[in-house]
């Protein structure tokens, strides 16, 4: 009797393990559908702002007093005290018109979802500086408003200056997908994979595109490319079984 119970428990555990693995694989297969442009862009937004602020601080903000105020403002933003940060920034702009300060104010407006105000600032900043961060965040503002054509132009300009960020290619691809232009959407992934040929996620999306086009030889080639990089990649292995 004891052996029978143990056997039943073992079978149930195996069923649970395989079911969980199936769900994980399914979740991975749907990853590109579930991630939103805004979520990806916000991740890039934070890192880009930090890096750009460091550059601008060293080149433009000469006053130790201003640097200290900006440090305080950064702490307020990190603590999500956006109203206090906005007040300090608007006061600071009365005596200092540095792009660094405008950039932080636009950042606060985006955090407060005041995208029209952020858009106005970034439109002004992009007239003065061909900065990929400004164009990226301007693209986000346009996207939230639903102005996909302007959003695409902003992301294209950001990529002209800096093509080293995967998020920009992904976001631009999704904009084109929403505009109904799948050719341009695919081109963004192709450009990224050409730039970073070992990026498995990018290759995976291209494989999905190939399957949608019923180009199974191309899909198989791309899945094999993934397996060459990661022999135990679950999605690629499952797909290859179906393509044999």
Domain range summary for the chain, segments of one domain joined by +? 34-149
Does residue 60 register a pLDDT over 70? no
In this predicted structure, the answer to whether residue 178 has a pLDDT above a threshold of 80 is: yes
For the ranges 54-68, 138-152, 173-187, which has the lowest average pLDDT? 54-68
The topology under which CATH files domain 34-149 is 1.25.40
* Cα–Cα distance, 23 to 135 (Å, whole number): 38
Provide CB contacts within 8 A for 37, sequence distance 6+.
Answer: 140, 143, 170, 171, 174, 175
Residue 166, pLDDT score:
87
Q: Quick one: CA torsion of 70, 74, 163, 110, rounded to 10 degrees?
A: -110
Q: Measured between alpha carbons, how far is 119 from 121 in angstroms, rounded to an integer?
A: 5
CB 109 within 8 A of CB 119: no
Q: What is the pLDDT of residues 24-43, one digit of tens each?
A: 444 444 434 334 444 544 44
Q: What mean pLDDT comes out for the span 137-166?
A: 94
Closest to 106 in 3D by CA, of 78, 134, 80: 134
Cα of 241 vs its chain's centroid, Å: 31
Per-residue pLDDT, averaged over 179-207, amounts to 92
Per-residue pLDDT band for 85 (boundaries 50, 70, 90) equals very high
**In this predicted model, which residue has the larger pLDDT, 14 or 218?**
218
Percent of the chain with pLDDT over 70: 73
Tell me how far CA of residue 100 lies from CA of 79, 125, 215, 217, in angstroms. Answer: 19, 10, 49, 51
What phi and psi values does residue 38 have, to the nearest 5 degrees?
-65, -40
The pair phi, psi for residue 30, each rounded to 5°, is: -95, 10
The answer, yes or no, to whether residue 109 has pLDDT greater than 90, is yes
Flag whether pLDDT at 209 surpasses 60: yes
For residue 16, is pLDDT > 60?
no
User: Would you say 52 and 61 are in contact if contact means Cβ atoms under 8 Å apart?
Assistant: no
Contact in structure between 236 and 226 (CB atoms under 8 Å): yes
- Residue 10 reports pLDDT greater than 60: no
Tell me what pLDDT residue 140 has: 93
Query: Which pLDDT score is estimated for 242?
Result: 80
Q: Which of 32-41, 51-60, 205-214 has the highest mean pLDDT?
A: 205-214
Residue range 210-235: average pLDDT?
Answer: 91
Residue 103 contacts residue 125 (beta carbons within 8 Å):
yes
Cβ atoms < 10 Å from Cβ of 10: 10
- Least confident window among 34-38, 140-144, 156-160: 34-38
């Amino acid at each position: 009797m004891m052996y029978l119970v143990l056997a039943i428990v073992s079978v149930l555990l195996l069923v649970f393990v395989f079911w969980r693995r199936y769900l994980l694989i399914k979740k991975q297969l749907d990853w590109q559908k579930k991630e939103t442009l805004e979520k990806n862009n916000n991740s890039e937004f934070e890192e880009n702002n930090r890096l750009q602020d460091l550059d601008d601080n060293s080149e433009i903000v000469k006053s130790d007093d201003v640097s200290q105020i900006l440090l305080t403002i950064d702490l307020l933003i990190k603590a999500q005290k956006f109203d206090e940060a906005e007040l300090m920034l608007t006061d600071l702009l009365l005596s200092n018109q540095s792009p660094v300060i405008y950039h932080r104010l636009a950042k606060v407006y985006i955090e407060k979802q005041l995208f029209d105000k952020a858009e106005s600032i970034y439109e002004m900043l992009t007239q003065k500086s061909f900065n990929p961060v400004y164009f990226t965040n301007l693209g986000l503002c346009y996207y939230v408003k639903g102005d996909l054509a302007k959003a695409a132009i902003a992301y294209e300009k950001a990529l002209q200056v800096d093509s080293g960020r995967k998020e920009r290619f992904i976001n631009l691809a999704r904009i084109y997908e929403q505009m109904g232009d799948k050719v341009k959407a695919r081109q963004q992934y192709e450009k990224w994979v050409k730039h970073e040929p070992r990026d498995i996620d990018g290759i995976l999306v291209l494989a999905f595109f190939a399957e949608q086009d019923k180009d199974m030889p191309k899909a198989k080639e791309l899945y094999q490319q993934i397996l060459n990089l990661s022999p135990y990649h679950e999605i690629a292995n499952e797909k290859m079984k179906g393509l044999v």
